[in-house]
């Protein structure tokens, strides 16, 4: 695998669906400028309904409708906005361009001020599409998808949680501490990194299993192949809390089994051709300085 290998590029670039950062009406001006940038390249723009209402418009479409209507999506905000868009649109297999309103993000590498220049490259086929692994989580009769990570956490700060873990049906560990992070390579630079987990190249397909404040010093992060099923069983009378990408929270009861597998679909992120993951590490984490 080459570090910058691109997935199949877009056959059509005629329509774009825009999703704005929630609760940020102050970016209305930038939205209209983005529309002008796209119109200059004959791209018709459609706005997501919540974003539309946020800036006092009434011409929005549901994300489901957008995915069926447009050639690609544009997430305007930051990494958190892009995470949400990926999770809620992944089943449509539609590429997403992340536009960052601040500095360079881990996921959103097109800074707003650079968008006009990028669009020139975009129409000269000077871009790439990265396929990123997602994880799927099954709990009882519900299924969740995460782009960064799934966290199984204790319910109260005054006690630890015990979690029994299996891989492909075989017992491999008992975790006792604050919880466990099941991360994708993309999410390895998020919560996983802050608790001592490894950085994994984002186009790799692997699970990173990292204990949070484990009671035993012998508990260490694991990097496992993505073609396995990981099973976690809650062994705590208080139950546990399940966090999906740090955005959605669900409570689960004692003896609940949580199954984690690689998702069938991939996230498709549109990037600059010259985007370099190690340069991002250097910029964001002072890697190598």
Active site residues: 79
The rounded distance, in Å, linking the Cα atoms of 277 and 279 is: 5
**Pairing mode of beta strands 267-272, 96-100:** parallel
Helix (H) or strand (E) holding 97, with range, is strand 96-100
Look-up of token digits 């604050």:
178
Q: Which residues contact 122 (CB under 8 A, 6 or more apart)?
A: 13, 41, 270
The rounded distance, in Å, linking the Cα atoms of 258 and 112 is: 39
Which tokens go with 16?
């774009």
Q: Which residues contact 253 (CB under 8 A, 6 or more apart)?
A: 234, 239
Closest-CA residue to 230 (of 147, 153, 173, 191): 173
Which tokens go with 188?
């390895």
Which tokens go with 15?
């329509």
φ and ψ of 130, to 5 deg: -90, 135
The rounded distance, in Å, linking the Cα atoms of 186 and 244 is: 14
Helix (H) or strand (E) holding 209, with range, is strand 206-212
Answer for the pair 21, 27: CB distance below 8 angstroms, yes or no: yes
Look-up of token digits 């877009």:
10
How far is C-alpha 82 from the chain's CA centre?
Answer: 7
Look-up of token digits 């709990």:
139
């Amino acid at each position: 695998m080459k570090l910058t290998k691109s997935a199949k590029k877009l056959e059509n670039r005629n329509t774009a669906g825009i999703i704005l950062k929630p609760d940020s009406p102050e970016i209305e001006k930038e939205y209209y400028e983005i529309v002008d940038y796209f119109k200059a390249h004959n791209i018709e723009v459609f706005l997501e309904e919540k974003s539309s209402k946020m800036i006092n418009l009434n011409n929005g479409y549901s994300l489901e409708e957008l995915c069926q209507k447009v050639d690609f999506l544009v997430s305007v905000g930051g990494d958190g906005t892009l995470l949400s868009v990926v999770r809620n649109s992944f089943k449509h297999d539609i590429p997403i361009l992340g536009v960052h309103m601040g500095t360079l993000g881990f996921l959103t590498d097109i800074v707003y001020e650079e968008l006009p220049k990028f669009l020139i490259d975009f129409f000269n086929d000077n871009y790439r599409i990265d396929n990123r692994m997602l994880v799927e989580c099954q709990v009882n009769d519900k299924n969740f998808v995460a782009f960064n990570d799934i966290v199984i956490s204790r319910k109260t700060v005054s006690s630890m949680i015990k979690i029994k873990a299996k891989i492909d049906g075989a017992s491999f560990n008992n975790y006792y501490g604050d919880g466990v992070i099941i991360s994708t390579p993309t999410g390895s630079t998020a919560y996983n990194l802050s608790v001592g987990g490894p950085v994994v190249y984002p186009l790799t397909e692997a699970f990173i299993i990292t204990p949070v404040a484990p009671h035993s010093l012998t508990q260490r992060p694991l990097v496992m192949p993505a073609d396995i099923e990981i099973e976690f069983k809650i062994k705590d009378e208080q139950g546990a809390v399940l966090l999906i990408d740090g955005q959605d929270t669900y409570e689960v009861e004692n003896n609940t089994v949580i199954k984690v597998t690689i998702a069938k679909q991939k996230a498709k992120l549109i990037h600059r051709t010259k985007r370099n993951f190690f340069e991002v590490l250097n910029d964001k984490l002072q890697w190598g300085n």
